[in-house]
Chain A
């Protein structure tokens, strides 16, 4: 089908307006990002005024122990919560797509709750929960449970399970169920069917879900700032704290570094999603 003769393709003025709209939208999205990146190379301490090119802020960032500690915390939390959420989210997706059980519909609906509930609500709920658990633990065993990397990781697991499950389910739903029947017909038992047919088919979905979880964990501010304790800040929370004391090009440099890392992860996730099996 040719584009020019088509009756459903917009023409003339409509076409030009649509193109203009697209440019406006992209401008709106990306202009601030470009400004941010540009200013991270600004020699001037005053953020708004350009003086000259420098990499000083990146050097400062690399030498700043507080920044480095925050990066380390972020990476630990992201790695741990991604692994746990990916395993649990994949299991949830499999059980929802492949098995019928009592309460399946309710489980289905509840699984999406963390996606819908506002971050602040989620954060308050988790904080209250951890405080209660800490109290109970203290009463029962005398052990002190403090807010820190463990509570941050648990919180990230809590919201990431949903995202992983959604992504993996989409992949499973697109898979031909007769493939599993064919495996069974060819003498594969349940486990062999899963390992040789189901798992390879859903792997792109699982990897995509894991990358999404990693990104969300690295980016989270609201929930993390509620459930983190003294000395256990992640990078975004640390940056947020810096901003309150005034924006410096150091923040721009840190933000740019985070942006690049996040974009790389999202891009990888999209590419994995798009790949329909390792063909």
Chain B
């Protein structure tokens, strides 16, 4: 069976060097392009007018809470669902209603979806057999793929004779062996325990760098997304809220939802005064690193680890903002202590590293919370 039946198919996959990093063009091309894509199920807007360009060779993560439309987006790229509105192109080819078996992508399913009646090597060989590759070629590539995921020696096992981590690797090998232009992964580490998951995160990232295939990775775990991704797209309720490199997403969120979802933060309502200063709802004036138009109702996000505590009469560096408050809560976390500091009508969460010589505070003590001017980030009020 010919995989590329469309005349617009520009590259024959069999010409691609086996699982080797390709030379990237100077101007990175767009691997997957979603243009105003929506998907409605009966009365649910699962995906709501999403515009997104995923670059060739990047590790792109779709991040968001459960039910926000990540899986649906991925399934539309794979061809397992079709958009209600909008267009999806893969390397410039518009996919339209092209079925999954005619698309240059492969998927690692959340449940792995390994064929239970086939051995590990038959599972991995499946895609190549469907494309009618030469027997010897199939054997060689299956061997390579299993070696890549360190499953050599397990060829004759059945999926139910493997551990969760091994099943996950088989699913990965079964997809990668086809050398797709884009690999789609739907929470592939979700079923693994924490230790294994963390190890696999690094391995997956490493693998992606080696094979140079574009990864579109779906996860609801923000730490996982930050660890692995070149860029992250944050979704909520079907909408794509922000796209950027991990630092951007974490340090300059553009909406309260992104600020809250990625890491822990203090979100404080505020208004912009005529002189450009920011006034918190409690009346406190603070500085922030972005200016907004006067009169605007905004939110200020302050990361707990960017806040510092000193005694009520203590000193802090010039240029820092400060608020007076009382220690209302203290939680010991081992490597850190988090405080709840009651300041006016808000409680600020502050994270203080548990290091030798680091001063800690008792509940009820009067203190000042201070932070550098650029630690506060303005976001539009959602």
- The DSSP consensus for interface residues of chain A is helix
A4 CB–B CB distance under 8 Å: no
B220 CB–A CB distance under 8 Å: no
Contacts of B1 in A (CB 8 A): 187, 189
With A and B bound together, what is the CA distance between A261 and B133 in angstroms? 48
With A and B bound together, what is the CA distance between A254 and B62 in angstroms? 70
Binary contact track A165-193/B, C-beta < 8 Å → 1, others 0 = 00000000000101101111111110010
Q: B109 near A181 (CB under 8 angstroms)?
A: yes
A229 CB–B CB distance under 8 Å: no
Given A184-B100, A187-B1, A189-B1: A179 in contact with B80 (beta carbons within 8 A) = no
A201 CB–B CB distance under 8 Å: yes
A277 CB–B CB distance under 8 Å: yes
B65 CB–A CB distance under 8 Å: no
A: contact size bracket? 20 to 34
Q: A178 near B111 (CB under 8 angstroms)?
A: yes
Q: A182 near B3 (CB under 8 angstroms)?
A: no
Given A178-B109, A182-B107: A277 in contact with B101 (beta carbons within 8 A) = no
A179–chain B nearest beta-carbon distance, Å: 5
* Chain A residue at smallest Cβ distance from B111: A178
Given A185-B101, A187-B130: A201 in contact with B117 (beta carbons within 8 A) = yes
B: contact size bracket? 20 to 34
Given A182-B107, A184-B80, A187-B101: A192 in contact with B130 (beta carbons within 8 A) = yes
Q: A182 near B113 (CB under 8 angstroms)?
A: yes
* Chain A residue at smallest Cβ distance from B78: A185
Contacts of A277 in B (CB 8 A): 116-117
Given A183-B126, A187-B127: A178 in contact with B117 (beta carbons within 8 A) = no
With A and B bound together, what is the CA distance between A278 and B99 in angstroms? 30
* Chain A residue at smallest Cβ distance from B127: A186
A156–chain B nearest beta-carbon distance, Å: 31
Q: B158 near A186 (CB under 8 angstroms)?
A: no
Q: B109 near A189 (CB under 8 angstroms)?
A: no
With A and B bound together, what is the CA distance between A34 and B198 in angstroms? 63
Q: A185 near B130 (CB under 8 angstroms)?
A: no
* Chain B residue at smallest Cβ distance from A197: B115
Contacts of B109 in A (CB 8 A): 178, 181-182
Q: A181 near B80 (CB under 8 angstroms)?
A: yes
Q: B116 near A279 (CB under 8 angstroms)?
A: yes
* Chain B residue at smallest Cβ distance from A200: B117
B169–chain A nearest beta-carbon distance, Å: 16
Pick the 9 closest A-B CB pairs, nearest first: A186-B127, A182-B113, A187-B130, A178-B113, A184-B100, A187-B101, A200-B117, A185-B107, A188-B130
9 of the cross-chain contacts (CB-CB < 8 Å) are A178-B113, A179-B115, A181-B80, A185-B175, A186-B127, A186-B174, A192-B130, A278-B117, A279-B158
